[in-house]
Amino acid sequence: MVIGLTGGIASGKSTVSSILKKLGAYIIDVDKVGRDVVEKGEKAYNEIVCFFGKKILQHDDQINRKVLGNIVFSDSKQLQKLNSITHPHIIERVKEIISKCKTDGKNVIVVDAAILIEMGLHSLCDTVWLISVDKETQLKRLMERDNYTYEEAMNRIMAQTSDKKKSVYADVVIDNTGTLEELENKVLELWNKI
Ligand code: ADP
């Protein structure tokens, strides 16, 4: 069984993933896959440096994600370009990991991705769980977790597709505006159903 786990930035995907991991699921962190495919020497790296220029590189020639993030999250055209470079590499890598998990006999595989639906990764999943949180809570949690200013946090939230659009593809919507304990109970209930 492949569960697609999605939701906006700081909605609680990593938190739900770690609960599911404790329950025995195998987690594919698509953010991590995204970081892996832009490592120096990987295919997407050269394409990105070619397009955005050497100003996005750190001293060790790795891509400085904060600098690149500030460019793309304030300009949707640049974000589109970055996505068109990285997404095919990420999708290919996720497919490889799912197929290896199945060969290894893993029963529950979770694909954790903020842009699961936008990337079409939901088509690889048997069910889609959307984590939803009200904007005020989302802003507060994002600013606290990543030490962003109000404006930085808002730019990142506004660059994402709304929950309303994503909910069309969701089999389950998990509201995470409440406490961690409430979230754990909701996830456990869903786990018991599968
Ligand atoms: P995502 O992976 O979707 O970006 P996280 O799981 O990292 O989101 O959650 C964002 C932040 O909010 C983290 O610091 C996390 O510890 C916190 N958090 C998540 N759910 C809750 C909750 N129900 N109550 C309080 N804090 C929460």
Span 67-113, pLDDT tens digits: 999 999 789 899 999 999 999 999 999 999 999 999 999 999 999 99
Average pLDDT over residues 142-170: 91
What DSSP character marks residue 57? B
Q: Where are the domains of the chain?
A: 2-39+89-193
Span 100-155, pLDDT tens digits: 999 999 999 999 999 999 999 999 999 999 999 999 999 999 999 999 999 999 98
Pocket test for ligand 1, best of 15, 132, 146 (most atoms within 8 A of CB): 15
Q: Please, are residues 166 and 130 in contact by the beta-carbon 8 Å criterion?
A: yes
**What does the pLDDT read at residue 44?**
93
Q: Please, are residues 10 and 131 in contact by the beta-carbon 8 Å criterion?
A: no
**What does the pLDDT read at residue 26?**
98
Rounded to the nearest whole angstrom, what is the distance from the C-alpha of residue 40 to the centroid of ligand 1? 30
Structural fold of domain 2-39+89-193: Rossmann fold (3.40.50)
Any ligand 1 atom below 6 A from CB of 141: yes
Rounded distance, CA 175 to CA 100, Å? 32
Any ligand 1 atom below 6 A from CB of 7: yes
Rounded to the nearest whole angstrom, what is the distance from the C-alpha of residue 11 to the centroid of ligand 1? 6
Rounded to the nearest whole angstrom, what is the distance from the C-alpha of residue 181 to the centroid of ligand 1? 12
**What does the pLDDT read at residue 112?**
97
Pocket test for ligand 1, best of 13, 139, 141, 177 (most atoms within 8 A of CB): 141
Span 175-188, pLDDT tens digits: 999 999 999 999 99
Any ligand 1 atom below 6 A from CB of 11: yes
Average pLDDT over residues 163-170: 91
**What does the pLDDT read at residue 74?**
80
Q: In what order do the strands lie in the sheet with 127-132?
A: 26-29, 109-112, 2-7, 127-132, 172-175
